[in-house]
Structure 1
Amino acid sequence: MVIKAWFDALTAKQARIAAVLSMEGRRNNINFMITCRKYDYVEEVLDMFNLHYECVGYHGESPREKLLRGIERQLALLDVVRDFDVHVSLTSPDAIRVAFGLGKPIIALTDTAHSYFVNKLTLPLANTVIAPSAIPMSEWGRYIPSAEIDKVRTFDGIFELMWINRFKPSGDSINKLGLKSREFVVIRFEESRASYYGYGDKSRILIRMARKVLEDGYYVVMFPRYPYQEELIKSELGLFLKLGKLIIPRNMKLDGLDLSWHARLVITGGSTMAHEAALLGTPAISYFPQHYYIDDYLMSKGLPLYRCVDEDCLTVLDSILKSDTTHVDTSSVLSRMEDPTGLIINEIKRLTNEDK
């Protein structure tokens, strides 16, 4: 019997999870139906893996708009996902609410204990919660009733291993940009309008870091998340854009992993690109302003991940650019970490068997 699983992808990271689960699902008689939200590079990643999907709804910015878009999206999803056995997502509030309302088992993947609003809306409704063991169980106790805390399944690794372990560098992405390996730096803005992000706008410090990189002679490939961030790039670094030293890719179907593999350095205000780069052996800076257990975990493994806040970022940046180390062999470290794919597949089978 084929299990019908529904995955809802809200970010590019979640689109990669969907791709790996779709591939592994076929080997385990699990057919994944994929929905997504029209936001950022989600559709681009799904297209890169030639996946069939249906994108529904949009991302809200203000609290009122988030609520409105969420309600609209839940109603729209009801018309799209008419037949499924189990739902899986990295805590999609809209999808989990729909699955719960339809009485279907739910697997919530999570590595963001700090995402208060999303976790409050999703983790209590899940049948199984899958999370890295690097995050203390006490963090999940803030959202899950103590009588149900045993529904949390942990693994000794991070979700990014799902695609890092299946990645082989090709050089296609840098060829599209006309760049050479190690001659450029990848820079990604913070997710300033996310529900969990209450730390103020950090764009100015990132612009200063970008200017430092450019003045040191490197090319910069920059990924803004919102229009105001792109406008800031144009107003502050417009000359470098005109000279072709700074690139904002548009509709180029680039593989972010391929870029990170070949980059001299990756700088991001979030976590995913920094974690991917560090796992690949490329030095990475995260200026996400809150303590993050996954960062501690990766740094304890000796991976080239660096943390900084505000002015300290320029010092950290300077020390990395002056270092002779441009890439680290991480194969032995990765071999000792746990890929959660098998755990997710097994939980899908277990929950659907219990539901029969």
Structure 2
Amino acid sequence: MLVWFDALTAKQARIASVLALEGEGRGYRFIVTCRKYDYVINVLKMYGVNGYCEGEHGEDVRSKLVNGLSRSLKLINVVDDFNVHISLTSPDAFRVAFGLGKPSIALTDTAHAFHVNKLTLPLADRVIAPIAIPKRKLMAYIPHGEEGKVKFFNGVFEVMWVYRFKPNWSEVEQLGLRNGDKYVVFRFEESKAAYYKYSEQSRIAVKAIRFLLKQGFKVIVFPRYDDQRELVASRFNRELSNGNVIIPSKPVDGLQLAYFSSLVITGGSTFAVEAALLGVPSISYFPSTYYTDKYVIKAGAPLIRVKPSRLISSIRKAMEIGKVGLIKDLEDPTGLILNEADVLANEHRG
């Protein structure tokens, strides 16, 4: 069986990598495609998984549409033939799989991503989601009579790699940090995503980084876009020079950085969930609610959800929490996904 996975973000690259490595043990073959965005290809390389990068994203509605359609055409030649397509709702890949008459599995944990869900979930043969996502939210995208294609699991996708994680200090050391250095990892918001309808939080980010520096922390910063990188360079030129603010210039495993850090802060959700599952205090300042965040908090993870305007006070609160142990006993969906892929491939052959 040949499975095609299209990974558009670093998170999706981790999902693809775990599935590819576990799938190999079952005798499955994987082809992983990706988009030239963020740290996607670096994550695949970290797991030793080959990725074929085609196309880019876009910063406005028109460029996203043009780039997406162009990318779909390129993907047809890259994937050639496959038995099952899996992605975390990639419109580019769904267009190809549906057009070629191939079955698709949609992984989703973002009920708020209206545009992407509207394009992909109706075309999926299976939809796999964390039980934290309210059923009614997903069913809004599912055609009448196809409700049975939705499968829930009692965990989050991040469990797939967090439960397989092994600490390695050398990953952190390559950034010039010494054992005993106190540092915080800061990840900017995904301000250009289609679902991000909020004001840019750069002022809050700068304020938070300055506050952390005053508390004696080094700050490792991960911008998502060039304008965010330029902002950090202009506001923290001296701190970048003396090593108190670090923007990694080469691939580094964010999970390793999170594990050895004092705190993780992100304008999204995934990085905070990953760190919190490892037992590291984490803050997500995404302006809206993530159902999966509430779920992992209820499971005992040291995760704080906060409005951007309250970020500084939340940093103080997070420092008081301190680290806890690994959050255990959540369901790993890897087996479920691979089993459903096998079922669909056999049904399609029949």
Q: Give me the TM-score of the superposition, normalised by structure 1.
A: 0.96
Q: Is the 8 A contact 2:286 2:308 kept in 1?
A: no
3-state DSSP class of the match of 2:322?
coil
Q: Is the 8 A contact 1:182 1:326 kept in 2?
A: no
Q: Is the 8 A contact 2:9 2:40 kept in 1?
A: yes
Aligned match for 1:136, one of 134, 137, 157 = 134
Partner residue of 2:40?
Answer: 42
Partner residue of 1:249?
Answer: 248
Partner residue of 1:293?
Answer: 291
What is the alpha-carbon distance in structure 2 between the residues aligned to residue 327 and residue 181 of structure 1?
15
> After the TM superposition, which parts of structure 1 deviate over 6 Å for at least 4 consecutive aligned residues?
none
Q: Is the 8 A contact 1:172 1:258 kept in 2?
A: no
Q: Deviations over 1:153-182 (max 9, x none)?
A: 000000000001111101122110122356
Q: Does 1:194 align with 2:193?
A: yes
3-state DSSP class of the match of 2:216?
coil
What is the alpha-carbon distance in structure 2 between the residues aligned to residue 65 and residue 168 of structure 1?
40
Alignment of 1:227-242 (within 5 A): 227-242=226-241
What is the alpha-carbon distance in structure 1 between the residues aligned to residue 15 and residue 317 of structure 2?
34
3-state DSSP class of the match of 1:311?
helix
Deviation at 1:219, TM superposition (A): 0.3
3-state DSSP class of the match of 1:117?
helix
What is the alpha-carbon distance in structure 1 between the residues aligned to residue 109 and residue 90 of structure 2?
13
Q: Deviations over 1:165-213 (max 9, x none)?
A: 1111011221101223561000000000000000110111111111100
Deviation at 1:320, TM superposition (A): 2.2
Aligned match for 1:148, one of 122, 146, 149 = 146
What is the alpha-carbon distance in structure 2 between the residues aligned to residue 98 and residue 44 of structure 1?
25
Q: Does 1:328 align with 2:345?
A: no
Alignment of 1:1-356 (within 5 A): 3-179=1-177, 180=179, 183-251=182-250, 253-321=251-319, 323=320, 325-330=321-326, 333-334=327-328, 336-356=329-349
What is the alpha-carbon distance in structure 2 between the residues aligned to residue 216 and residue 269 of structure 1?
21
What is the alpha-carbon distance in structure 2 between the residues aligned to residue 228 and residue 52 of structure 1?
29
AA in 1 matched with 2:199: G
Q: Which runs of 5+ in 1 are unaligned?
A: none
What is the alpha-carbon distance in structure 2 between the residues aligned to residue 42 and residue 10 of structure 1?
7
What is the alpha-carbon distance in structure 1 between the residues aligned to residue 181 and residue 283 of structure 2?
16
Alignment RMSD = 1.0
Q: Give me the TM-score of the superposition, normalised by structure 2.
A: 0.97
3-state DSSP class of the match of 2:146?
helix
Q: 1:210 to 1:28 in 2, by over 3 A?
A: same
What is the alpha-carbon distance in structure 2 between the residues aligned to residue 198 and residue 182 of structure 1?
37
Deviation at 1:319, TM superposition (A): 2.3
Q: Is the 8 A contact 1:181 1:262 kept in 2?
A: no
AA in 2 matched with 1:184: Y
AA in 2 matched with 1:64: R
AA in 2 matched with 1:228: D
